[in-house]
Amino acid sequence: MIEAIRDAMDVMMARDGDVVVFGEDVGFFGGVFRATQGLQAKYGKTRCFDAPISELGIVGAAVGMAAYGLKPCIEIQFADYMYPAYDQIVSEAARLRYRSNGQFTCPMVIRMPAGGGIFGGQTHSQSPEALFTHVCGLKTVVPSNPVDAKGLLIAAIEDPDPVIFLEPKRIYNGPFDGHHDRPVVPWSKHELGEVPDGHYAVPLGKAAVRRTGADVTVLAYGTMVHVALAAAEETGVDAEVIDLRTLVPLDLDAITASVGKTGRCVIVHEATQTSGFGAELSALVQETCFYHLEAPVARVTGWDTPYPHAQEWDYFPGPARVGRALLETMEQ
């Protein structure tokens, strides 16, 4: 996925001279995860450069650049570090089109490695997607595989409004097959093949059916897509797994079509449960599919605790926890 993300930025920087990439250690070093490696050498220090250790400053500068015609694609080194910049994201980037009555827009992308899986503890493992989906004016993207990561990032850079691009670092470098608590070889058979060369875009707001089924719908995104696929196979439940890909805009049509067919729904995400994005999904399913439901909507999530470093792999919803939810839902 890292190589796919780097390729997306490379493609867009070559196509559009207004695209600039910057952040902490993004230039010379190539980023803490090496997602920008080689871009400064190829495009120069005015197109890919290092920023001071100030997330507020990084986002604030990007808002100004975007307002005056550039297309910044910035990196917040970890999603956990975005809180000092939250005011700039919410009060400036998300509002600029509306407060200026369309005179200014904010075509910028904020890339953030998110989620756990690297024993990073409380300050390197958070999944804050719900903090962005609540904000009008922001789009929120969470890819689950390299093919989508490249296409979605290209679409995000080309979008005229601010996009939050959360990159699940547990599947950054692979390999991960979903059946185990820890990454193992090889990648899941559900991996979507070779990443195409050159320019292509995956439209924002379109979910993907990763597994067809007739008995229960599983809604997931990011790393949890692979876990949901593994749980369906291990339990033998005929589950339909929907990879949301973008949380805002949300492909509600795909959700309602699937739940209308299966009559059951299990929602899986790594973030804490209370006020997580799964609550919004549950409400939407109840509102739009009430007369189709044969059982209550179930959620399988991270714990409602600060991120537990020592118990990281128990905190994650794994195939066992998701599998139990599938079986319990089928029994109702």
How far apart are alpha carbons 177 and 185 in whole angstroms? 7
Annotation marks residue 309 as catalytic: no
Alpha helices (H) in the chain, listed in sequence order:
2-15, 39-43, 55-67, 86-87, 96-99, 129-133, 146-158, 223-235, 252-262, 277-289, 312-315, 319-331
How far apart are alpha carbons 121 and 186 in whole angstroms? 26
DSSP string, 35-102: TTTTHHHHH-TTTEEE--S-HHHHHHHHHHHHHTT-EEEEE-SSGGGGGGGHHIIIIIITTHHHHTTT
**Residue (of 262, 281, 268, 257) closest to 208 by Cα position:** 257
Which residues lie below 8 Å from residue 221, measured CB to CB, with a gap of 6+?
142, 144, 243, 244, 245, 247, 269
* Residues paired with 148 in a beta bridge: none
The two tokens of residue 54 are 């100030």
Annotated catalytic residue, options 124, 190, 226, 269:
124
The two tokens of residue 229 are 């696929």
The two tokens of residue 77 are 């080194």
DSSP 194: P
Q: Which residues are catalytically annotated? A: 124
